[in-house]
Amino acid sequence: MNHSERTEALDLLYNSPMAMHPPALKSLEAHVAALGVAQCVRRSTGPTGRTAGQVAVLPLYGIITQHENVITQHFGGTSTEKWGQAFDNLIASPQIGAVVIDVDSPGGEVYGIPELADKVFKARGSKPIVAVSNAEMFSAAYWVASAADEVVVTPSGQTGSIGVFSLHVDYSGALEQAGEKPTFISAGERKVWGNPFEPLTEESKAMIQGEVDTYYNQFVAAVAKHRGATSKQVRGGYGQGSLATAKESVTLGLADRVATLDDTIRRWQSGRKSAEREDARAAAEKREAQVQGWEAEARANKPKRPALSPQEREKQLRKWEVEVG
């Protein structure tokens, strides 16, 4: 990576709205700035999926960007442009009965993500689409994966990091020490707001914050739509940037089940009907566990209350289900 490529990479990291788990940005920044980065191997950003019977496995790995750029060329990752093309081909193929998205990504830039997530969401109903956190499904990666029919988390996996940020770096002090003083000659009051060669003004910060808020609102609304919730529920619950373990993801509503990638592939290899029977059995077990929990809570609150008849139990269950939404 030469000097101009390093400058381009840092510019992408610092001056774009990002839907990424923040520690991943720090790690990537360190790699870009490292002296030995020239020895990095150039990697393809095209999906290299596989098939298992009629089940297609489509990877969503690494940093996500809209197009190939200097970051993906040197460090790998996923281009939403190329990934979307591969996804379209699998949905259109009569040889493919189900699509499993193998996700291991900290997220990436916002550009192209809403469009890609919408593409996945609109493909629902054409054939089963299942996204598996294997083992990171963070930020922009979750934005896309949440659009699948089902979200699965491997036992050691995590989901979440719902949020957007933008990073401003002020180089004015370093330039002053180097004896350099850049001067912009511009037209348009806001044209050079937020530039890295001078301290960030309150007006510039407000402008950038407005942009970040806009993308965050889009993110929250999309997840709410995909997961059958409301924006208020997402924003007030798991939508504040934190991570969730596998079991927590299911409990919070970020995911539907805990299972490995291989288990998920096998479940759909046996066909839609078999998978649906397993889903129905799992749903019945979950419902029964909820009933037992509600009954235990009712007994704790009213210990002298007699046992409910089957008819009363079903009536009370419907009432509880309405109350919990």
Task: Classify the phi-psi angles of 159: left when phi > 0, otherwise alpha if psi is within -120 to 50, otherwise beta.
Answer: beta
Quick check: pTM over 0.85?
no
- 31-40, 80-89, 219-228, 271-280: least confident range: 31-40
Contact assessment for residue 221 and residue 233, using Cβ atoms and an 8 Å cutoff? no
Residues 107/19, Cβ–Cβ less than 8 Å:
yes
Cβ atoms of residues 79 and 63 within 8 Å: no
Beta bridge partners of 63: 107
What structural domains and CATH numbers belong to the chain?
Answer: 3-166+214-269 (3.90.226.10), 273-323 (no CATH)
How much is the average pLDDT of 258-283? 80
Give the single-character DSSP code of 36. Answer: G
- How many CA atoms lie within 13 Å of 102's alpha carbon, on the beta-carbon side? 17
Q: How far apart are CA 34 and CA 37, in angstroms?
A: 5
Tell me which DSSP letter residue 4 carries: H
Q: Where are the alpha helices (DSSP H) in 76-201?
A: 80-92, 113-122, 140-145, 172-177
pLDDT tens, residue by residue, 288-309: 665 666 666 666 665 544 556 6
Cα separation, 97 vs 272, in Å, equals 8
CA atoms of 238 and 113, how far apart (whole Å): 19
Give per-residue pLDDT as tens, 67-122: 887 777 777 799 999 999 999 999 999 999 999 999 999 999 999 999 999 999 99
CB atoms within 10 A of CB 117: 25
